Amino acid sequence: MNFIRRILRTRPKKDEAFYRELKIILGFTPNNILIYNKAFIHRSIKNLDPEGNPQNYERLEFLGDAMLGAVIASYLFKKVPSGNEGYLTQMRSKIVSREHLNELGRDLNLVRLVTSNVAKSKFGENINGNIFEALIGAIYLDRGYTFCKKFIHKRVIQPYVDIPKLEGKITSYKSLFIEWCQKEKKTFLFDVYDDTAKDPIRHFSVKLSLEDKIIAKGRATSKKKAEEIAAKRAYFVFQKEISKN
């Protein structure tokens, strides 16, 4: 304990505050604080190491995504011995979906620790999940697989993973709608266009047509999200028909 206090006294106040908050989030003592610092650096900072490599959260996000997928796959493999490959893949996709990762990042309020040259009000929704994955990558590099696994079990599996609920959860309304259209041999079209108007952030709108008739619309900060919103609205219009499949 005295050793930790001595370390804290040698840090600038900013780093000390970050260390304390990080320790609460992790539930254990981080060893190399520099790794975690990198997990919260936005690419707009444009930091480079001596070799000229970018120093931001994106590489750690890549590593964290792989570690998260591996731990979740291992958990499902043991938890559901009767599940085949297709079932396990689908369940893993639901747990590590972008929507779910964003929720995890928001619940921990990780964005408050991000260093950026861009106003946080202009961040896209996915920053929450990206930082969460980067944090997992940092844990793996700092403390290894065992600590990484424990963190994922504590922050993801224990509070959020409910197998029966996940089995009935729809992760992509767009995929579900397209699959239904293909089975029923119905023609459809996602007509996406730029709809920024006077908004400071770029927006896209989409008109979803079924058999040449517009049945739903969506608007969001990305084409993919706008399509998903429109597909979700269309799903609830045709829920009875789609559910029969």
CATH number assigned to the domain comprising residue 55: 1.10.1520.10
Q: CATH no. for residue 223?
A: 3.30.160.20
CA distances (Å), origin 7, targets 28, 30, 113, 138, 232: 16, 12, 21, 20, 51
Residues carrying an active site annotation: 65, 133
Domain for residue 127, yes or no? yes
Residue 12 is predicted with a pLDDT of 52
- What residue spans of the chain are helical by DSSP H? 2-9, 13-26, 33-39, 58-79, 85-95, 98-107, 127-143, 145-152, 158-160, 163-167, 173-184, 223-237, 239-243
Number of domains in the chain: 2
Local mean pLDDT, 10-residue blocks, the chain (245 residues): 48 73 92 92 84 87 96 95 88 88 93 88 88 97 96 93 81 86 93 82 91 93 90 89 75
Nearest to 192 by CA among 179, 174, 180, 176: 174
Give the C-alpha separation, 35 to 57, whole Å: 10
Residue 9 is predicted with a pLDDT of 46
DSSP 3-state of 190: strand
Out of 141, 163, 185, pick the residue that ends a domain: 163
Tell whether pTM > 0.75. Answer: no
DSSP 3-state of 238: coil
Shared domain check, 155 and 193: no
CB 27 within 8 A of CB 151: yes
The one-letter amino acid at 73: A
Residue 39 is predicted with a pLDDT of 94
Domain for residue 145, yes or no? yes
The one-letter amino acid at 35: I
Residue 14 is predicted with a pLDDT of 60
Shared domain check, 207 and 94: no
Shared domain check, 205 and 108: no
Domain for residue 168, yes or no? no
Shared domain check, 187 and 121: no
Shared domain check, 67 and 145: yes
Structure token digits, residue 71: 């731990």
Out of 101, 136, 163, pick the residue that ends a domain: 163
Give the C-alpha separation, 171 to 103, whole Å: 14
Residue 134 is predicted with a pLDDT of 96
Shared domain check, 215 and 99: no
Shared domain check, 121 and 48: yes
Out of 104, 137, 163, pick the residue that ends a domain: 163
Shared domain check, 220 and 105: no
Shared domain check, 15 and 101: yes
Give the C-alpha separation, 217 to 226, whole Å: 8
Shared domain check, 120 and 184: no
The whole domain housing 89 covers 2-163
Shared domain check, 194 and 141: no
Shared domain check, 115 and 36: yes
